[in-house]
Amino acid sequence: MTNIAAAPVPFKIEGTEYMMSPLRDVDLTFLDNWVKSKILQAAELSDDPVTRKVAVEVAAVAAWTGKYGTALSRTPEGTARYMHTCIKRRHPHVTLEQVTAWTKVEAHLIEMYRAFNIANDVGEVDRSDPTTANPSTAKVSTSA
């Protein structure tokens, strides 16, 4: 789904204001490729050629908005990955490691989810727990 009027949303971490940009098609392509790489990395741990073959087939069609992407988006690593994707456009100096650290502080995580949900027009979520939003349902921005 495309969010044509998408605009970045401000949020604060430790007194510094940042902007959470909406996801774009290029961001989803990046996240799709990350999902594929995670599946292939897991397959590399197996000595079974059948498991590796199946993993390659699964990775070929895996997407951020699909079953595996949704599951990965709910992991700490996945959360940091998509949050960083939305933050780095306006703040290229912010690293994935910084965002990962922020996601470990509940107040920071809630603030980032709030901004992500607004920027990406995620829709109704349980406001008492903003982390219940499913980032794979975000509307994609067509703006640069």
Q: How many CB atoms lie within 10 A of CB 70?
A: 17
pLDDT at residue 122, as a whole number: 78
User: Could you tell me the pTM of the whole model?
Assistant: 0.80
Cα–Cα separations (whole angstroms), residue 43 to 40, 70, 134 = 5, 19, 26
Please state, in angstroms and rounded to a whole number, the distance separating the CA atoms of residues 133 and 39: 23
pLDDT tens digits for range 22-68: 999 999 999 999 999 999 999 999 899 999 999 999 999 999 999 99
Copy the structure tokens of residue 127: 């406001």
Where do the domains of the chain lie?
19-137
CA pseudo-torsion sign 24, 26, 31, 35: positive
pLDDT of residue 121: 85
What is d(CA 8, CA 11) in angstroms, rounded to the nearest whole number? 10
* Predicted confidence (pLDDT) at residue 132 exceeds the cutoff of 60: no
Q: State which amino acid sits at residue 130.
A: P
Assigned token pair, 46:
């197996």
Tell me what percent of the residues of the chain surpass a pLDDT of 70: 81
